Amino acid sequence: MSSTTYNITPGRYERQLPVATQVHFKSSANSTNATIVKGSAGTVFSMIIHNTATAGVGNDCHLRLYNLDRLPVVGTDVPMAVIQLSSGSSKEVNFTSGITFTNGIAYSMTAGDNLLDATAVSADAVQLYMGYM
């Protein structure tokens, strides 16, 4: 699956985002979905995550955020944050001042909850929208 970046027009949303904010979208592939969003310093302001997988063992998703200017090596690179999402649920996360990434914004999606997990999620099971600049 590929990822897409959309420009956001300020003032058209309930919560005003900074002028240069962009949105990144990704629907999971049958992998760990190692992705680089921005290869230089940036800030994440919001995320909406949907996990459409049916309830069952191994269907939870763990979104791992990395402060990297390259693709993360899932299972080796240590994430700076992990957001857990149960199967069949959605989560909206907003950061008032944003989370600053000094090197770059990267992430992975895995099914296991160990810090260095590298278990693939199912194709199209997880959708991620990320507002960043």
What is the spatial distance between Cα 62 and Cα 64, in angstroms, rounded to a whole number? 6
Residue 118 tokens read as 């590298």
What is the spatial distance between Cα 62 and Cα 84, in angstroms, rounded to a whole number? 4
**Is the CB of residue 129 less than 8 Å from the CB of residue 24?**
yes
Pairwise pLDDT comparison (116 vs 1), residue with the higher score: 116
**Residue 77: pLDDT above 80?**
yes
Question: CATH topology for 4-132?
Answer: Jelly Rolls (2.60.120)
What is the spatial distance between Cα 96 and Cα 114, in angstroms, rounded to a whole number? 28
Share of the chain above pLDDT 70, in %: 82
What is residue 24's predicted lDDT score, i.e. its pLDDT? 95
Q: What is the pLDDT of residues 50-73, one digit of tens each?
A: 999 877 656 899 999 999 999 999
Give residue limits of the domains in the chain: 4-132
Its pTM stands at: 0.83
Q: What is the pLDDT of residues 6-54, one digit of tens each?
A: 444 444 445 555 556 899 999 999 999 999 999 999 999 999 999 998 7
